Chains A and B, each alone.
Chain A
Amino acid sequence: MLEDRVAQFRDQTSRYLRGELSESEFRPLRLQNGLYVQRLAPMLRVAIPYGMLTARQLRMLAHIARRYDKGYAHFSTRQNIQYNWPRLEEVPDILAELATVEMHAIQTSGNCIRNVTADQFAGVARDEIEDPRPWCELIRQWSTFHPEFTFLPRKFKIAVSGSRDDRAAVQVHDIGLELHRNAAGETGFRVLVGGGLGRTPLIGAVIREFLPAPELLSYLEAILRVYNRFGRRDNIYKARIKILVKALGEQAFAARVETEWLDIRTRMAPVEPAQIERLQASFPPPDYLHLDADHAAANLAKERAADRAFDRWVERNVMPHRQLGYSMVTISLKPTGIAPGDATDQQMELVADLADEFSFGELRVAHEQNLVLADVRQEQLHELWCRLRPAGLATPNIGLLTDIICCPGGDFCSLANAKSIPIAEAIQRRFDDLDYLHDLGDIELNISGCMNACGHHHVGHIGVLGVDKKGAEFYQLLLGGSQGNQASLATILGPSFASDEVPSVIATILDIYVARRIEGETFIEFVRRVGVEPFREIVYAKPAHV
């Protein structure tokens, strides 16, 4: 199938270059192959289905960065990877190379069903109810070149969570699916529809509390059909499914889906148990060793006590694993001075080697734009850290203020109102004291260069949004957003700031938190308790910001 697709796109590209396809005819075709035309060059977005990569695939991604781009690439908030400098004529060659490792750029853009995303800790998290990846794979297959849903009113994003703590942001997707079990112990999905960020941020509505898992595809088909037929097409800003859900009302929308579903399922059978088993069998647990967990824990404690820097890294970047003696390691792509989510070809090669050596040759991309080695033996953590460190891959800042989610912004993106990467860097430089950052604890800071919200600013504890003010770049600050089970949308603090003011305003916000927090209260808990008003009073009382 991938070879067919490469051949098809090679033909389309050459027809375009020969002038047989107009720009407007070629545009949706290249978009469905992940190819944008950006500020400086085309941008190619390659799909990483539900964030899973093998070491071999990562080496190919590194090779492409080296051979066809400028030696680096960008991991996005949708678990994909983006190349910012490919040449249009070479894109078919890139796609052909990707196909040799079963990778592609299909449906990574355009008004179609995009790459389905999931928890980066799928299959290893302690709070998991069921592994979401087999279901993601089922959705991926179903949505690939779906004949009916390739020209939707607008793009369409599906996320699946299989754990108690939602790490896939299911409440802010067009469709969010939460695996859970009913009283009879059967697996099913809670189905949310119409969440999203962008210029109309909304939390998704639950339209079905329990959908038997084998009926997933017929139900998705019903939702998509209602959307395809009745979603608005007259205004690009009103075309997402959330607008349709809002216009009809949640219940009326759910009722239409139900009617459609009852009809579709008379022809579309549930997924057979054997098929589900086969999908599940394609995500086998790796060959874990039986480890002496107590010994490993004691040893790790000793290593942490002996080295403050290692201790910090373990505290922030290492998470407990379901398997005794193993850990999940997040490799931060947020060192100060590098665009959040960027990695060089050499870093990718190194991470691929480390994945082979320490984590069964597999890794994941987190939607927070970091990489994850999911199955590392605790006794090897110190060695892994020593190998990551010289490559700039051991920044101990996961979940901290400097672990910034950030879109490419005005430096690359033609939609952006303002730059976002330099703002991220200025914030990272201002807050470079690790003791202070660790004392602040969990804070999510998200930056978008425009209201399309690729940097998820609405769900950051602190959000930064680039705005255009009479041709100049300004930044609005937002507070109190959050992803996860208690997803909430942030509140705008007030009038926007010039770029050089942003770090000091954030410093003021943090000072208020530090001075007034109660014992053990995280930043987001504090904001929820006191509201935005105390911040407004102090931030806008300063004469410098009048």
Chain B
Amino acid sequence: MQNLLTSEGETRTDDWTLLPRDVSATELPTGDLIVPFRVWVEARTELLARGSRAGVWLASDEQAEDLEPFLAELAIIAIDFPVFSDGRGYSNARILRERLGYDGELRAVGDVLRDQLFLMRRCGFDSFALRSDRNAAQAVSALADFRHAYQHATIDPGVPLVRRDH
């Protein structure tokens, strides 16, 4: 089952391998890897020399600012939602996009469910690895749950703060 969805509403097969938080930095599998931030720090040189792509995932208690020195080297950044009600990842996403200017792929992973996709997209996520028991194709419509938004946000900084049609 495809459980990867893009912000354009396309479903894809995920060709990244995401390594768990307790993985050893010395025994990395082959292929394109998304590694915990700690592993990135420990094995960065090796990861960059492998010839395959590498990225990092941030846990919800890690800070986006710590990635600043590496932004040009990362092929992808994933932000983990350990439970969907842990909203720290939304702030990390906006900081990466708006403050640090990261413009590569930003992926939501973990407890990612259709009811949060609209919010995630507005905070700058452009791909969503839905929870493994969910079907990405059925979640496409959730990206358009609302036609309007009130706030300035990552994907539409020009949105008027005060709407005129009511």
Which residues of A are found within 8 Å of B63, using beta-carbon distances? 229
**Among the listed stretches B4-12, B14-22, B45-53, B90-98, which one makes contact with chain A, having 4 or more residues with CB under 8 Å of it?**
B90-98
B84, B85, B94, B113: the one within 8 Å of A148 (CB): B94
What CA separation (Å) do A213 and B145 show in the bound complex? 32
Binds A, one of B31-39, B70-78, B102-110, B158-166: B158-166
CB neighbours (8 Å) of A145 from chain B are 118-119, 146, 149-150
A148 near B123: Cβ-Cβ < 8 Å: yes
* A190-B87 Cα distance, complex, nearest whole Å: 28
Picked from A29, A147, A228, A271, the residue with its CB within 8 Å of the CB of B151 is: A147
Query: Is the beta-carbon distance between A151 and B85 smaller than 8 angstroms?
Result: yes
The reply to whether the CB of B137 lies closer than 8 angstroms to some CB of chain A is no
Q: Are A228 and B150 touching (Cβ within 8 A)?
A: no
Contacts between chains A and B (CB distance < 8 A), count: 90
Docked-complex contact B87 and A151, CB < 8 angstroms: yes
Per a CB cutoff under 8 Å, which of B115, B150, B162 touches A279? B162
B150 touches A229 (CB 8 A): no
Instruction: Tell yes or no: B86 within 8 A of A by CB.
Output: yes
Q: Is A66 an interface residue (CB 8 A)?
A: no
- Known contacts A1-B147, A144-B150, A145-B150; decide if A275 and B87 are in contact (CB<8 Å): no
Task: Among A25, A29, A141, A149, point to the contact of B150 (Cβ < 8 A).
Answer: A141
- Cβ contacts under 8 Å, B151 to chain A: 142, 146-147
Contact between chains at B152 and A268 (CB < 8 Å): yes
**Across the interface, which residues of B come within 8 angstroms of A217, CB to CB?**
152, 161
Contact call A151/B157, Cβ cutoff below 8 A? no
Q: How far is the CB of A8 from chain B (nearest CB, A)?
A: 5
Q: B residues within 8 A CB of A228?
A: 87-88, 90-91
Q: Name the CB-closest residue of B to A1.
A: B148
Sorting the interface of chain A by its residue count into under 10, 10 to 19, 20 to 34 or 35 or more gives 20 to 34
Question: Which B105-127 residues sit within 8 Å CB-CB of chain A?
Answer: 113, 115-116, 118-120, 122-123
* B153 in contact (CB, < 8 A): yes
Could you tell me the distance in whole angstroms from the C-beta of B23 to the nearest C-beta in chain A? 24
Chain A 23-45: CB-based contact to B (< 8 A → 1; otherwise 0): 00100110000000000000000
Cα A150 to Cα B145 in complex, Å, equals 15
Q: Which of A126-150 touch B at CB < 8 Å?
A: 138, 141-142, 144-150
B147 touches A267 (CB 8 A): no
In the bound complex, CA of A233 to CA of B91 (Å): 15
Interface membership of chain A positions 164-189, coded 1 if the CB is closer than 8 angstroms to chain B and 0 otherwise:
00000000000000000000000000
Measured in the bound complex, the distance between the Cα atoms of B87 and A8 in whole Å is 20
Report Cα–Cα, A275/B149, bound state, in Å.
17
Given A5-B146, A147-B122, A233-B86, is A141 in contact with B113 using a C-beta cutoff of 8 Å? no
Determine the residue in chain A with the shortest Cβ distance to B125.
A147
Interface residues of A in 266-313 (CB under 8 A from B): 267-268, 271, 275, 278-279
Cβ-defined partner of A4 (8 Å) among B85, B123, B145, B166: B145
Nearest CB in chain A to that of B111: its residue: A25
SS of B interface (majority): loop
- Chain B neighbourhood of A149, CB < 8 A: 87, 90
Task: Provide the residues of chain A in CB contact with B157, threshold 8 Å.
Answer: 267
Cα A147 to Cα B166 in complex, Å, equals 21
The answer on a CB contact under 8 Å between B162 and A141 is yes
Residues of A within 8 A of B90 (CB): 147-151, 228
> What residues of chain B lie closer than 8 Å to A229, measured between beta carbons?
63, 88, 91-92
Closest to A150 in B: B119
Complex Cα distance A395/B85, Å?
45
Interface pair B87/A141, CB less than 8 Å apart = no
Question: A111 at the A/B interface (Cβ < 8 Å)?
Answer: yes
Assess whether B150 is in contact with A142, with CB atoms less than 8 Å apart. yes
Most buried by B among A12, A25, A148, A150: A148
| Residues A4 and B147 in contact, CB atoms below 8 Å apart | yes
Q: Is A102 an interface residue (CB 8 A)?
A: yes
Q: Smallest CB-CB separation from A268: which chain B residue?
A: B152
CB pair B115–A148 under 8 Å, yes or no, is no
Partner of B98 from A146, A151, A267 at Cβ < 8 Å: A267
Residues from chain A with a CB closer than 8 A to the CB of B115 are: 12, 25, 29
- Give B contacts to A, CB under 8 Å: 63, 84-88, 90-92, 94, 98-99, 113, 115-116, 118-120, 122-123, 145-153, 157, 160-164, 166
A138-B161, A148-B153 given; 14 more Cβ-contact pairs under 8 Å: A1-B146, A4-B145, A29-B115, A141-B162, A142-B151, A145-B118, A147-B118, A147-B123, A150-B90, A150-B119, A151-B86, A263-B99, A271-B162, A275-B161
- In the assembled complex, 27 residue pairs joining A and B whose CB atoms fall closer than 8 Å, in A order, are A1-B148, A4-B146, A8-B146, A25-B113, A28-B84, A138-B161, A138-B162, A141-B150, A141-B162, A142-B150, A142-B151, A142-B161, A144-B150, A145-B118, A145-B119, A145-B146, A147-B120, A147-B123, A147-B153, A148-B119, A149-B87, A217-B152, A217-B161, A228-B87, A228-B91, A229-B91, A275-B160
